[in-house]
Amino acid sequence: MKIPLKKLLFFSGLILLALVVVFLVVQALLHLSDLAEGMRGIIGALRSILLGCVMAYLLYPLTRFSEQFLLYHNVKPRAARTLSTTFSTLVLLALLVLFGYFIIPQLVFNVPPLIQSLPDMINEFSQRLSDYLTSHGQSAQIITTISEKISSSFNQWLQADPLSALVDIVGRVASVAKSLLNFIIGIIVMFYLLMSRDQFIGQGKKILFAVCKKRSTCDVILRHLRVINRIFSGFVSGKLLDSLIIGIICGICLSLLNMPYAMLISVIVGITNIIPVFGPFFGAIPSAFLLLLTDPGKCLIFIIFIIILQQVDGNIIGPKILGDSTGLSAFWVLFALLLFNHLMGFWGMLLGVPLFASFYYLLRELISSRLRRKNLPLATKDYVNIAGIDDNGTISYLPPPVIQFRSLFRGEDSLWAAICRRVRGIKADPTKEPGSPKEDKPDDPSDPPPPCDL
């Protein structure tokens, strides 16, 4: 049998392509470390691009609002686009300048003296605790031993080799300079993305419509992408605004309460509040420990204040800002935090909730579409008492479980009457059901006496 030349060339090309793919896979497995190093290098090179995309995504709502405002006042479209993008960039720079002006000096002035005085604070606190235990007849040897070990380790860290400390400082300065350069490039990338966002959106949709065969598939994908975008933008921007408000409220209240290190603690509480559920604990525990070493009374006041502040945030401020942006219950929020913290670390705790909310939405839509094809109900509550569904689609329900309760003291079938009968050795009538009305019958001298009075 003669094989056509066209088919022979086609199968030969497939075999050659398969061999190339196998060769590349084997080379990747043999040089896995080099491949990982190369990927890290590519990610490091594109870090500024990624940072610019993140900043553009966060500033997009403000840019869109300001552009619509300018268009409403008859500003030309190109001028409105340029002015709105410039305004958003200036807002970002202003926030960074305010952060540097108010926060960085406080950190510079508070953190080094705090590090220097931390051994003395630990010794003083341990001495107070030892005196308290000694005055109550308890041994304080373990407290003294732990305090001495912590102080000696900390002093050794402070008095390390000057040359290694200098090398470490130089490395940190170089890292800061590199991060600053990436940030400047990221701002430039953000500006170009905001200016040309319509073009990038159009290119993405053009590729989608070119790849998909059916237009309905494109419509479904775009609809799902809009919902996922709403989940991410609502959660991230809302959480940042909520954390900013909590940090400001915490700073004002701690200053009024004359708390030491008020600004430093407010920064810690505001930043860690970005993390859902666990964030308040991450910020409150080290702050409370710092106040405990400084003034135990202020530490107790701080703990009470943080509890009140978190209740206000969880019940008033947070719901007003975030609303139901994720659509997840408290259990799934906790599940998402634990899962993505294990998979992605710190960034998983920040972005785990919207990521899981997006997956949860897609899975819910898939299940709902399959239920619609089978003409089955969509509400979850309709499936609580379902016993089964036959081949014709008829649903059978189980009766809701009912627990039979008996009266405690009143009536012939009460628990008190049963106890009295048990005491007198009289068995209950097995034919009489609990709760049935008492039958009227004439008095008989042979009847048992009335229930006993124990």
The predicted-structure confidence for 226-246, as pLDDT tens digits, reads as follows 988 888 888 888 888 888 888
Residue pair 115/290 in contact by the 8 Å Cβ criterion: no
Three-class SS of residue 396? strand
Percent of the chain exceeding pLDDT 70 equals 72
Find the helix packing angle between 215-256 and 346-373, rounded to 10°: 140
Q: What is the pLDDT of residue 155?
A: 59
pLDDT tier for residue 163 given thresholds of 50, 70 and 90: very low
Mean pLDDT score, 319-331 = 75
Q: What is the pLDDT of residue 449?
A: 47
pLDDT tier for residue 171 given thresholds of 50, 70 and 90: low
pLDDT tier for residue 82 given thresholds of 50, 70 and 90: very high
Please give the residue that has the higher pLDDT: either 34 or 280: 280
Closest by CA to 239, choosing from 274, 288, 191, is: 274
Count of C-beta atoms within a 10 Å radius of residue 405: 8
pLDDT tier for residue 443 given thresholds of 50, 70 and 90: very low
Query: Does the pLDDT value for residue 324 go beyond 70?
Result: no
What pTM was estimated for this model as a whole?
A: 0.65
Classify residue 229 as left (phi > 0), alpha (psi -120 to 50) or beta.
Answer: alpha
The predicted-structure confidence for 385-422, as pLDDT tens digits, reads as follows 787 777 776 777 777 777 777 787 777 778 888 888 88
Q: What is the pLDDT of residue 295?
A: 75
Three-class SS of residue 434? coil
Q: What is the pLDDT of residue 343?
A: 82
pLDDT tier for residue 48 given thresholds of 50, 70 and 90: confident
Residue pair 224/368 in contact by the 8 Å Cβ criterion: no
Q: What is the pLDDT of residue 396?
A: 79
Percent of the chain exceeding pLDDT 90 equals 5
